[in-house]
């Protein structure tokens, strides 16, 4: 067994382990952990500084998870958009392919809380073969995103088996892996894993840091190994109440990510997932965070703020309104709130005609 697998085995999976260390009454949390599995690696647990801090809130069950709220089990209609089990084909040229049902840690805000780490998420050699066959049959798929669960929880051999099959499909241009391992179990990013991944370029990794305290010497080292293997790294952050819902925390997170060679990719408005209502913020708060980033710090540090539309509509980008009005003169507002005017070009005759048609409709 590899060292990271031993660390995974030493994870805490039930709330009674919290009593000794934090003096928390585990009884009300037991019901929660029965409904939604709990697993916290010793490493991630060591990042907790106090009860209910941003690290705690992401990792430790809360009775608030039993509230109903506005949320539903599968708000993004992933099951509806799965032509074969565990593969979501929502966009024309890319698919989300779930290849592992478990995670090193069960994040309390997870979008796939309905199934991740539970019996009903059935991933087997057979479902993986069905997914690969679907990708082979659909040459329009040029980008495959391996997800789960966490694909890096598979052994190097299992993961390589899938990567090899994908690379043998000539129409697959890009492979992406979505993983939280650098954040919750950075010891997983071993030299052997990185050497293996390096053979399957172009391969991208999107990781999932939500708070600046998650960037530690160990997670930075894991990231550095991946970056040194030429793997472009992006980060997806979920906007979470009580974790990162203020501009200072978010700015620090994005700056620290750039400093470890990770490009902030998406900032997600929290999905309407059953059991996660207590993490939701308003959309206005997300826009405020983007306003506090753009212009105020490196443009490279600014992710796209998106809502994944309920009902499977896909990711929809949201921007604070920098554009005041269009026309002969375009009126713009900069990051400080000052107004600027830009003289627009004259439309070509056919564009004018199209504008008239559009106005009539
Ligand atoms: C997020 C997502 C993708 C990838 O979207 P990009 O904008 O290309 O990163 C693909 N399929 C599904 C189902 C997704 O949720
Ligand atoms: S690692 Fe990702 S899939 Fe797993 S519980 Fe966390 S958010 Fe969900």
CA of 96 relative to ligand 1 center, distance in Å: 7
pLDDT of residue 347: 84
- Can you read off the two tokens belonging to residue 235? 């980060």
Kindly list the distances between the CA atom of residue 160 and the CA atoms of 70, 127, 196, 198, 257, in Å, as whole numbers in the listed order.
Answer: 40, 16, 7, 11, 28
Residue tagged 């009005």 (tokens): 325
Distance between the two ends of the chain, CA-based, in angstroms? 66
Q: Note the pTM of the prediction, 2 decimals.
A: 0.95
Catalytic pick from 39, 57, 94, 188? 94
Ligand 2 midpoint to CA 321 (Å): 32
Residues 124 and 344: their CA atoms lie apart, in Å, by: 57
Q: Is residue 116 in contact with ligand 2, taking CB distance under 6 Å?
A: yes
Burial of 158 (0-12, 13-18, 19+ CB in 10 A): middle
Give the residue, by CA position, lying nearest to ligand 2 atom 7. Answer: 110
Question: Is residue 88 lining ligand 1, measured as CB closer than 6 Å?
Answer: yes
User: Do 64 and 111 form a contact (C-beta atoms < 8 A)?
Assistant: no
Nearest-angstrom CA–CA distance, 105 and 58: 9
Q: What is the CA(259)–ligand 1 centre distance, in A?
A: 26
For each of the chain's 361 residues, which pLDDT tens digit applies?
999 999 999 999 999 989 888 999 999 999 999 999 999 999 999 999 999 999 999 999 999 999 987 778 899 999 999 999 999 999 999 999 999 999 999 999 999 999 999 998 999 999 999 999 999 999 999 999 999 999 999 999 999 999 999 999 999 999 999 999 999 999 999 999 999 999 999 999 999 999 999 999 999 999 999 999 999 999 999 999 999 999 999 999 999 999 999 999 999 999 999 999 999 999 999 999 999 999 999 999 999 999 999 999 999 999 999 999 999 999 999 999 999 999 999 888 888 777 778 877 6
SS3 of the chain: helix, strand, coil, percent, to 5: 40, 20, 45
Q: Is the CB of 103 under 6 A from ligand 2?
A: yes
Rounded CA gap, 26 and 241, in Å?
23
Q: What are phi and psi of 292, to 5 degrees?
A: -80, -15
d(CA 83, CA 48): 41
């Amino acid at each position: 067994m590899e060292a990271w697998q031993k660390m995974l085995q030493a994870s805490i999976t039930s709330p009674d382990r919290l009593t000794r260390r934090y003096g928390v009454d585990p009884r009300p949390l037991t019901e929660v952990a029965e409904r939604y599995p709990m697993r916290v690696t010793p490493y991630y647990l060591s990042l907790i500084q106090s009860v209910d801090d941003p690290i705690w809130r992401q990792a430790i069950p809360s009775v608030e998870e039993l509230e109903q709220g506005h949320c539903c089990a599968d708000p993004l209609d992933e099951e509806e958009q799965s032509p074969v089990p565990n593969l979501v084909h929502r966009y024309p040229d890319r698919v989300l392919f779930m290849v592992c049902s478990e995670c090193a840690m069960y994040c309390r805000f997870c979008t796939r809380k309905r199934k991740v780490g539970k019996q009903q998420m059935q991933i087997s050699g057979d479902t993986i073969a069905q997914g690969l066959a679907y990708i082979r049959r659909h040459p329009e798929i040029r980008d495959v995103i391996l997800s789960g669960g966490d694909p890096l929880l598979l052994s190097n051999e299992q993961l390589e088996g899938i990567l090899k099959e994908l690379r043998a499909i000539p129409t697959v241009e890009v492979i992406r892996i979505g993983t939280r391992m650098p954040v919750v179990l950075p010891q997983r990013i071993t030299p052997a894993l990185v050497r293996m991944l390096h053979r399957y370029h172009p391969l991208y990794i999107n990781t999932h840091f939500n708070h600046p305290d998650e960037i530690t010497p160990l997670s930075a080292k894991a990231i550095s190994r991946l970056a040194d293997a030429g793997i472009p790294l992006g980060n997806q952050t979920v906007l979470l109440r009580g974790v990162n819902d203020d501009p200072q925390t978010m700015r620090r997170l994005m700056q620290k990510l750039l400093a470890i060679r990770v490009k902030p990719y998406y900032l997600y408005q929290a999905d309407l997932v059953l059991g996660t209502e207590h993490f939701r913020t308003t959309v206005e708060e997300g826009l405020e965070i983007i306003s506090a980033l753009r212009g105020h710090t490196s443009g490279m540090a600014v992710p796209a703020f998106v809502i994944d539309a309920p009902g499977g509509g896909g990711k929809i980008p949201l921007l604070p309104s920098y554009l005041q009005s269009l026309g002969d003169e375009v009126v713009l507002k900069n990051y400080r709130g000052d107004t600027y005017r830009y003289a627009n070009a004259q439309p070509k005759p056919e564009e004018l005609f199209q504008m008239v048609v559009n106005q009539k409709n």
